[in-house]
Amino acid sequence: MTEIGLGIPSAPPPVLAPRRKTRQIMVGNVGVGSDHPISVQSMCTTKTHDINATLQQIAQLTASGCDIVRVACPRQEDADALSAIAKKSQIPVIADIHFQPKYIFAAIDAGCAAVRVNPGNIKEFDGRVKEVAKAAGAAGIPIRIGVNAGSLDKRLMDKYGKATPEALVESALWEASLFEEHGFGDIKISVKHNDPVVMVEAYRQLAAQCDYPLHLGVTEAGPAFQGTIKSAVAFGSLLADGIGDTIRVSLSAPPAEEIKVGDAILQSLNLRPRKLEIVSCPSCGRAQVDVYKLADEVSAGLEGMEIPLRVAVMGCVVNGPGEARDADLGVASGNGKGQIFVKGEVIKTVPEAQIVETLITEALRIAEESGDTGGGAPVVSVG
Q: By CB under 6 A, name the binding residues for ligand SF4.
A: 281-284, 286-287, 314-316, 318-320
Closer CB to ligand SF4, 195 or 326, in the complex: 326
Please, what is the minimum distance in Å from the beta carbon of residue 232 to ligand SF4?
Answer: 23
DSSP notation for 158-182: HHHSS--HHHHHHHHHHHHHHHHHT
Sign, CA torsion 62/64/69/74: negative
CA distances in angstroms from 231 to 66, 85, 112, 274, listed in the order given: 17, 29, 27, 19
How many residues in the chain? 383
Rounded to whole angstroms, how far apart are CA atoms 275 and 260? 12
Residue type, 164: T
Closer CB to ligand SF4, 165 or 321, in the complex: 321
Closer CB to ligand SF4, 119 or 338, in the complex: 338
Please, what is the minimum distance in Å from the beta carbon of residue 277 to ligand SF4?
Answer: 17
* First-residue to last-residue Cα distance in the chain: 28
Please, what is the minimum distance in Å from the beta carbon of residue 347 to ligand SF4?
Answer: 20
Question: 234 and 218 in contact (C-beta within 8 Å)?
Answer: yes
User: Is 362 assigned a ligand-binding role in the annotation?
Assistant: no
Closer CB to ligand SF4, 256 or 318, in the complex: 318
CA distances in angstroms from 35 to 17, 20, 272, 333, listed in the order given: 14, 10, 14, 45
Please, what is the minimum distance in Å from the beta carbon of residue 339 to ligand SF4?
Answer: 13
Closer CB to ligand SF4, 316 or 340, in the complex: 316
Please, what is the minimum distance in Å from the beta carbon of residue 338 to ligand SF4?
Answer: 13
User: Is 210 assigned a ligand-binding role in the annotation?
Assistant: no
Please, what is the minimum distance in Å from the beta carbon of residue 286 to ligand SF4?
Answer: 4
Rounded to whole angstroms, how far apart are CA atoms 216 and 200? 9
User: Is 323 assigned a ligand-binding role in the annotation?
Assistant: yes
User: Is 66 assigned a ligand-binding role in the annotation?
Assistant: no
25-27 vs 30-32, strand pairing mode: antiparallel
Closer CB to ligand SF4, 21 or 293, in the complex: 293
Closer CB to ligand SF4, 51 or 317, in the complex: 317
Question: 113 and 68 in contact (C-beta within 8 Å)?
Answer: yes
Residue type, 36: H
Rounded to whole angstroms, how far apart are CA atoms 170 and 165? 9
Please, what is the minimum distance in Å from the beta carbon of residue 295 to ligand SF4?
Answer: 11
Rounded to whole angstroms, how far apart are CA atoms 188 and 211? 9
Question: 371 and 378 in contact (C-beta within 8 Å)?
Answer: yes
Closer CB to ligand SF4, 12 or 282, in the complex: 282
Cross-sheet strand order for the sheet of 246-248? 187-192, 143-148, 114-122, 93-99, 68-72, 39-43, 246-248, 215-216
Please, what is the minimum distance in Å from the beta carbon of residue 282 to ligand SF4?
Answer: 5
Element (H, E) at 222: none
Bind-site residues for [4Fe-4S] cluster: 281, 284, 316, 323
